[in-house]
Each structure stands twice: as structure tokens, then as C-alpha cells.
């Protein structure tokens, strides 16, 4: 987002609010809190970041919390500490994830500033299941000058819970870098790639089973799994149980700027998530120049609308690994003549490229800035 919009901004500051869960007895936590309140205003130096923007890192100290409303209060409280009691020095403030950063932005925006927020969270339904959190989100929607979602599933969820705010919801996607794809399209689809956190929702266990099924037909297939999580050891054991350990490379977590090169070194992104709000990694793979094999998990269907066949293959969210293997076989059977990755990239760049997404934000920000104060 910074790389997309910074060229059009006179000045861009990024306040990164990062939750630090502090597991200490209450009496010990109070000491930690007191020291942190004293030190934090002197501990957020401006750091040069992408495209000339300035980054401020703010740890949000909190005990383990199941109450989402209380968590949003912590975000607002610690941003206030970091600001030293002063308002955010900006006339336009755009927050990502309204319940945490959005609430903090609303509480600390300067008088007359316009505040916008983009919802990305795949866990939003869990948040809104709590009555107190639902009331807080209602207030956030009411106070924002603009509210955006990155996918149709989020639009449907928010409009269903808050029908009185349905007219305020606008779709603006995550910006994707479409610069410099791989020199040529893959000649075969043997080198599979997964880029994902290793959580149950991403269904990497299902991916491994489907890969093993496909590899039984072609022992030359390989799979690289980029990402980490608590389930990694179990997934490595599953790969061994399936007889595929030597063909699966668990790469672990990598820096974001490494992902594009890793994608370009593979032939196919396989994404087996149960639910996605957008499916950013799917569009990133196509931007890098490789096709995709992806589940109908909500966001990807909307993201690839109109270029589904040109971009790759959709499969149902089904726990039968034969469904994934069959989808791969169908994709492989038509990938030389049935795909059009160049067309898919052109269409998607027009929707999600840096210039396209930045233009939509500037239009919204400028329109709000021109509106008279109530």
C-alpha cells in the first residue's frame, strides 16, 4: 500500500501498531505497563521505509484477551501513549483493520481530519459474534469517513450484520505489484508452490494429500511450502507418512520481498484455503507469471472474475484429495493451449495494480477532503 500511494502523497507516515501479548501475573504486568508508558513516547523514532515514507513502530502491550472490544481499547490507548498525548499530524488518516487500528485512528485523529479504514480480517465473524465488539464496530462504521473491504465475502458479512451501513461499504482491493514477471510461462506444471501460514484454515494437510495423489501419477512433481505455523511438525510428519517427504521442501517463513522471486522459480501456485476474504497470494502468483490451482474459497472467485479459465483452475473446497488431484490433471491437460496468462495479468493489473488501487484511494480521499465539515 505504501509503495502504491506514496508517489501521490506530499508526506506519508506509517504508524505500525503491533500486538505484544504479555503473559505475566497482574502485579508484574503493572510494572511492565508503568515502565512502558514512561519509555514509549521516546521510543518510536521515525524510520525511513518504502517510497520515502516514514515508519513508526508501536508495540501494543496487552495481556491475553478474548474480549475484542478490550483489545481495541488497548490499541487506542498505546497509540495515545506513543503520540505523547498529541493528535495524529495528518489531515487524511487511513487505517487497516478497523477494529484495532481503525478505532485507534478515530480516537487520535486531529480535529477536522478525515479517517478511512480498510477491512482485511478473515476473523471478522468471530469479532462480531461478541455483542460488545459488535457495538464497537457499529460505532466505528458510523464515525468513519470511508470504509473499504478487500473482498466480496467481507462486504456480505458486514452488510448482513449492519444493514444500516450497507451503503457505506466500498470495495477496494489490496494493491499488487505487477512489475517484471518471469520471462516466459511455465512449460510444465511440475514445481508446485504454496505460500501460506500453516493453519487449519489453509488446509495444508489437504494440499499434501492431494499432492501425494497427483505424484503417484507423476513422480517428478515437487512441492515447496513457504510459511510457518504451529502445525509445521505435524505437516512434515504427514508428508513422510504419505511417502512424499523427499519431494516436499518446507521452506519456512521468508521475507515478503523474497516471495516474488520464489514464485517465478516455480510452475504453479496451489492454494487450498477453506476461506479467503481476497486471496492476495493468488493474484501475486499471476502477477509473477505462473498459473494457479485454487479452491473456491470466497475471495479468489471474486478476485479472478472474468479470467478464471485464463488464469488456472478452480476446485471445490472438498476434503477428498482426489478432487485436488483431478483439478490438477484437468489444468495440466489444457495449460499449453487453454491458458492465457498474459491476458489474465493485463486484466488483473487494471484492477489490482499499484496505479489502479492508488487512483481509487486518492479519489475517495480527495472527495472527502472537499466535503464541508458537518
State the DSSP string of 288-328: HT--EEEE--BHHHHHTTT-HHHHEEEE---S-HHHHHHHH
What is the distance between the alpha carbons of residues 324 and 306, in angstroms, rounded to a whole number? Answer: 22
Please state the domain extents for the chain.
2-175+353-370, 191-352
In this structure, what C-alpha cell is assigned to residue 129?
A: 459474534
Are 2-175+353-370 and 191-352 the same fold in CATH?
A: yes
Instruction: Decide: helix, strand or coil at residue 164.
Output: helix
Strand-pair partners of 55: 14, 47
Q: According to DSSP H, which parts of 192-320 are helical?
A: 204-217, 232-241, 256-264, 280-288, 299-303, 308-311
In this structure, what C-alpha cell is assigned to residue 199?
A: 493453519
What is the distance between the alpha carbons of residues 227 and 134, in angstroms, rounded to a whole number? Answer: 32
Fold held by 191-352: Rossmann fold (3.40.50)
Span 2-175+353-370: which CATH code? Answer: 3.40.50.2000
Question: Going residue by residue through the chain (374 aa), what tens digit of pLDDT does each one get?
Answer: 999 999 999 999 999 999 999 988 888 888 999 999 999 998 899 999 989 999 999 999 999 989 999 999 999 999 999 999 999 999 999 999 999 999 999 999 999 999 999 999 888 999 999 999 999 999 999 999 999 999 888 999 999 999 999 999 999 988 999 988 888 889 999 999 999 999 898 999 999 999 999 999 999 999 999 999 989 999 999 999 999 999 999 999 999 889 999 999 999 999 999 988 888 999 999 999 999 999 999 889 989 999 999 999 999 999 999 999 999 999 999 988 889 999 999 999 999 999 999 999 999 998 876 665 55
In this structure, what C-alpha cell is assigned to residue 135?
A: 457495538
Q: pTM of this prediction?
A: 0.83
Q: How far is CA 230 from CA 66, 194, 246, 252, in A?
A: 20, 17, 22, 11
In this structure, what C-alpha cell is assigned to residue 75?
A: 490499541
Amino acid at each position: 500500500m505504501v509503495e502504491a500511494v506514496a508517489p501521490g502523497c506530499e508526506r506519508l507516515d506509517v504508524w505500525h501498531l503491533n500486538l505484544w501479548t504479555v503473559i505475566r501475573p497482574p502485579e508484574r504486568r503493572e510494572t511492565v505497563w508503568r515502565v512502558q508508558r514512561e519509555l514509549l513516547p521516546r521510543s518510536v523514532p521515525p524510520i525511513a521505509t518504502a517510497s520515502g515514507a516514514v515508519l513508526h513502530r508501536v508495540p501494543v502491550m496487552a495481556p491475553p484477551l478474548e474480549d475484542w472490544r478490550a483489545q481495541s481499547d488497548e490499541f487506542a490507548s498505546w497509540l495515545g501513549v506513543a503520540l505523547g498525548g498529541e493528535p495524529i499530524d495528518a489531515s487524511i488518516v487511513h487505517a487497516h483493520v478497523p477494529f484495532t487500528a481503525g478505532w485507534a485512528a478515530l480516537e487520535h485523529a486531529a480535529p477536522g481530519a478525515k479517517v478511512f479504514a480498510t477491512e482485511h480480517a478473515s476473523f471478522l465473524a468471530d469479532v462480531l459474534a461478541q455483542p460488545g465488539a459488535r457495538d464497537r464496530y457499529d460505532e466505528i462504521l458510523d464515525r468513519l469517513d470511508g470504509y473499504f473491504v478487500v473482498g466480496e465475502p467481507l462486504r456480505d458479512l458486514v452488510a448482513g450484520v449492519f444493514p444500516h451501513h450497507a451503503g457505506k461499504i466500498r470495495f477496494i482491493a489490496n494493491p499488487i505489484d505487477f512489475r517484471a514477471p518471469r520471462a516466459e510461462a511455465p512449460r510444465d506444471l511440475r514445481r508446485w508452490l504454496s505460500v501460506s501460514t500453516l493453519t487449519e484454515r489453509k488446509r495444508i494437510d489437504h494440499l499434501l494429500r492431494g499432492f501425494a495423489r497427483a505424484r503417484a501419477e507423476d513422480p517428478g512433481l515437487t512441492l515447496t511450502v513457504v510459511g510457518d505455523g504451529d502445525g509445521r511438525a505435524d505437516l512434515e510428519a504427514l508428508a513422510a507418512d504419505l511417502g512424499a517427504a523427499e519431494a516436499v521442501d518446507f521452506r519456512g517463513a521468508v521475507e515478503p520481498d523474497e516471495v516474488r522471486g520464489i514464485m517465478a522459480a516455480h510452475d504453479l501456485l496451489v492454494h487450498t484455503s477453506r476461506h479467503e476474504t481476497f486471496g492476495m497470494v493468488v493474484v501475486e502468483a499471476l502477477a509473477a507469471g505462473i498459473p494457479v490451482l485454487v479452491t473456491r474459497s470466497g475471495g479468489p472467485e471474486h478476485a479472478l472474475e472474468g479470467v478464471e479459465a485464463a488464469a488456472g483452475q478452480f476446485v471445490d473446497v472438498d476434503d477428498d484429495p482426489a478432487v485436488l488431484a483431478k483439478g490438477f490433471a484437468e489444468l495440466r491437460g489444457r495449460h499449453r493451449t487453454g491458458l492465457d496468462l498474459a491476458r489474465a495479468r493485463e486484466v488483473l493489473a487494471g484492477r489490482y495494480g499499484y496505479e489502479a488501487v492508488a487512483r481509487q484511494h486518492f479519489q475517495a480521499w480527495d472527495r472527502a477532503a472537499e466535503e464541508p465539515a458537518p
